[in-house]
Amino acid sequence: MASTVLIVSASLLALFFFLHSADADVGSNVFSIQSYGAHGDGRHDDTKALGDTWAAACSSAKPAVLLIPKGKKYLIKHTTLSGPCKSSISLMVKGSLVASPERSDWSKETIRHWILISGVTGLTVTGGGTIDGNGKIWWQNSCKTNSKLPCTEAPTALTFYSCKNLKVEYLKVVNSQQIQISVEDCTDVMVSRLSITAPETAPNTDGIHITRSRDVEVTDCMIKTGDDCMSIEDGTENLHVKNMVCGPGHGISIGSLGDHNSEAHVNNVTVDNVRLYGTTNGARIKTWQGGKGSAKNIVFQNMVMDNVWNPIIIDQNYCDSSTPCKQQKSAVEVSNVLFKNIRGTSASEEAIMLHCSSSVPCHGITLENVNLTVKGGIDLKHEHPWTLEDVEK
Ligand SMILES: *[C@@H]1O[C@H](CO)[C@@H](O)[C@H](O)[C@H]1NC(C)=O
Ligand SMILES: *[C@@H]1O[C@H](CO)[C@@H](O)[C@H](O)[C@H]1NC(C)=O
């Protein structure tokens, strides 16, 4: 009995020291949004308070923490948080940031972004809280939902532009207006432990979008969304994706590359240990005719698919256009692609589609240990049974 008490009090002591030292560590360098006039009630506009807190934290000479406190909800309109900052900075989201539900809060100039973080070196975004794009009004007004409406742009919930040494971890990102997280022109990026969710019917809500970025790691994320779980676009180099759960959604996609006769390059991408549930695609590479450049040194391995429409697909004749795409002479070269240890079920009879270009045919494509059977049923369940823990085993 006595020894039990001792153990309990010893661990309480340890906990106390841990909290205490953590406090002492950050100490005066915590910049709480509450100290900059925020309401935190989810009704009043806290955009200015967020901007002011960022300005203070970003000009701190010592490593700074911008705190979004737990239990509070901050209504935020379009905002840009820019660097460079004087020191490293953590955006600690413990509570929630919620986007304004008014489309009129965005102008033609700002419509592509909700929260844009630009030009910061040594940024960590973490805290276990929620980033809520409040996207319903945007989905309802999308031409993909209602074909009578004109097609317009919508904000990406969280954009990282031109950041170096970036970490994004332990967050819930929900109901983005359009793309959920976009990493653009960044280097040395770690994205991990995110839960990303939007309804299957929410148009263009790609989970994690990566472009013009190098040395990127994405691990341990759970993505349920209305478009690609991950879209890997032009200019991605050295990307390692590991331990992911995806579905519903459109799967993990490299591309589309080479639209409007553009040049695109994707090099050295590994996608490892992924489960896909009821997605339209599994491992996909898609390029338009008429493009230039290359997608090469790509590995998709250790994947489990459950009722996926196109489990393995390379499409060099991709055409997402209202008018048919004409035959063209040039194409993005697709080479050195390995699909290895892929098993599970296909919802369609064509589990593997290699739709290569007739002018620049894909080459160096290897399929190794692939076992896919037809499930024969389109009755997709909307909740997948896996947790991240299943993947980590
Ligand atoms: C490919 O990318 C990985 C990171 O995903 C990196 O460790 C490796 O060095 C890269 N290979 C080459 C040849 O650049
Ligand atoms: C392929 O998977 C099916 C279904 O899981 C299984 O019954 C079969 O034995 C597997 N084939 C090989 C060659 O592993």
pLDDT digits (tens, 9 = 90+) for 215-256: 999 999 999 999 999 999 999 999 999 999 999 999 999 999
**Which domain covers residue 220, as residue numbers?**
2-17+91-100+115-392
Confidence of residue 87 (pLDDT cuts 50, 70, 90): very high
Give the position, in ligand 1's atom list, of the atom nearest the Cα of 237. Answer: 2
Q: Which atom of ligand 1 is nearest to the CA of 216?
A: 5
Closest residue (by CA) to atom 12 of ligand 2? Answer: 371
> What is the C-alpha separation between 286 and 330, in angstroms, rounded?
15
Is residue 259 in a domain?
yes
Residues with CB under 6 A from ligand 1: 238-240, 268, 270
Total structural domains in the chain? 1
Q: What is the dihedral of CA 93, 384, 243, 126, to 10 degrees?
A: 0
- The tokens for 126 are 């973490």
CATH of residue 257's domain is: 2.160.20.10
Asked if residues 297 and 269 have their Cβ atoms less than 8 Å apart, the reply is yes
Residue 219 and residue 199 in contact, taking contact as beta carbons nearer than 8 Å: no
> Do the domain assignments include residue 72?
no
Q: Is the pLDDT of residue 20 over 80?
A: no
For ligand 2, atom 5, which residue shows the shortest CA distance? 344
CA distance 183 to 317: 26
Give the model's confidence band at 322: pLDDT under 50 very low, under 70 low, under 90 confident, else very high: confident
Residues ≥6 apart with Cβ < 8 Å to 237: 213, 214, 215, 265, 266, 267, 268
Instruction: For residues 106 and 170, give the distance between their C-alpha atoms in angstroms, rounded to a whole number.
Output: 28
Phi, psi dihedral angles at 80 (to 5 degrees): -120, 125
Which percentage of the chain shows pLDDT scores above 90? 82
pLDDT category at 376 given cuts 50, 70, 90 is low
- Please state whether 81 falls in left (phi above 0), alpha (psi between -120 and 50) or beta: beta
83 belongs to a structural domain: no
pLDDT at 375: 81
**Is residue 196 scored above 80 in pLDDT?**
yes
Choosing from 78, 209, 250, 384, which is the catalytic residue?
Answer: 250
Ramachandran region, residue 92 (left: φ > 0; alpha: ψ -120 to 50; beta: rest): beta
Q: Is residue 69 part of a domain?
A: no
Average pLDDT over residues 352-357: 95
CB 170 within 8 A of CB 147: no
pLDDT digits (tens, 9 = 90+) for 155-170: 999 999 999 999 999 9
Q: Decide if 347 is inside a domain.
A: yes
Q: Which of 1-5, 80-84, 310-314, 322-326 has the lowest mean pLDDT?
A: 1-5
- Assess whether pLDDT exceeds 60 at residue 25: no
79, 106 contact by CB (below 8 A): no
Does the pLDDT at position 17 exceed 80?
A: no
- pLDDT tens sequence across 273-317: 999 999 999 999 999 999 999 999 999 999 999 999 999 999 999
Nearest protein CA to atom 8 of ligand 2, as residue? 371
Tell me how far the alpha carbon of residue 342 lies from the centroid of ligand 2, in angstroms.
Answer: 11
SS3 368: strand
- Closest by CA to 64, choosing from 13, 108, 30, is 30
Distance 293 CA to ligand 1 centre (A): 20
Asked if 235 contacts 218 with a C-beta cutoff of 8 angstroms, the reply is no
Question: CA 388, CA 238: separation in Å to the nearest integer?
Answer: 24
Over residues 95-151, the pLDDT tens digits come to: 999 999 999 999 999 999 999 999 999 999 999 999 999 999 999 999 988 889 998
327 located within any domain: yes
Nearest CA to ligand 1 atom 8: 238
**Is residue 170 in a domain?**
yes
**Is the separation of the CB atoms in 184 and 160 below 8 Å?**
yes
Average pLDDT over residues 89-94: 98
Helices and strands per DSSP (H, E), number in the chain: 4, 26
* CA proximity to 125, closest of 61, 57, 72, 78: 57
Q: Kindly give the number of the ligand 1 atom that is closest to the alpha carbon of 238.
A: 2
- Report the pLDDT value the prediction gives residue 387, as an integer from 0 to 100: 55
Q: In angstroms, rounded to a whole number, what is the distance separating the alpha carbons of residues 118 and 282?
A: 32
Mean pLDDT over each residue of the chain, to the nearest integer: 90
Q: How much is the pLDDT for 389? A: 58
- The one-character DSSP state at 137 is H
Band of pLDDT at residue 323, cut at 50, 70 and 90? confident
Say yes or no to pLDDT of 9 above 70.
no
Token pair, residue 24, equals 């002492």
Model pTM score: 0.90
* Residue 109 falls inside a structural domain: no
pLDDT for position 321: 81
Tell me the CA–centroid distance for residue 333 and ligand 1, in Å: 20
